[in-house]
Amino acid sequence: MKDKLTFTLFTPHRSFPSVECDSIKLSISDSVSGEFSGSYGIRKGHAKAIFALAPGKISVSLEGKEIFSAETQGGFATVQNNEVRVTADGVEENGILSE
């Protein structure tokens, strides 16, 4: 099993480089209304899952420091085998602080 999570972000117009990280926070949608439900955290060993994303922040951290963040316009995320793949309708990138 890998020591870290691998995070990859895709949009219809761009794919971002994958980064290794310890944790990821996503803004998720309520399954009934589709509106913002809250922030959801993912760490190494997370069960296989699919999430609908609400417009909001994605935060990727390594060793307690945020290394990437972006504001999404919605989309979905999949988690499997310590890989988190986010497909967002659109993003406003806040920056990659380190790789």
Rounded mean pLDDT of 63-87?
Answer: 94
Asked if pLDDT for residue 78 goes beyond 70, the answer is yes
DSSP string, 20-56: EESEEEEEEE-TTT-SEEEEEEEETTPPPEEEEEPSE
34 versus 69: which is more confidently predicted?
Answer: 69
Q: What is this structure's pTM?
A: 0.85
Q: Which residues of 23-49 are buried (b: 16+ CB within 10 A; e: fewer)?
A: bbbbbbbeeeeeeebeeeebeeebeee
Tell me the CATH architecture of domain 5-96. Answer: Sandwich (2.60)
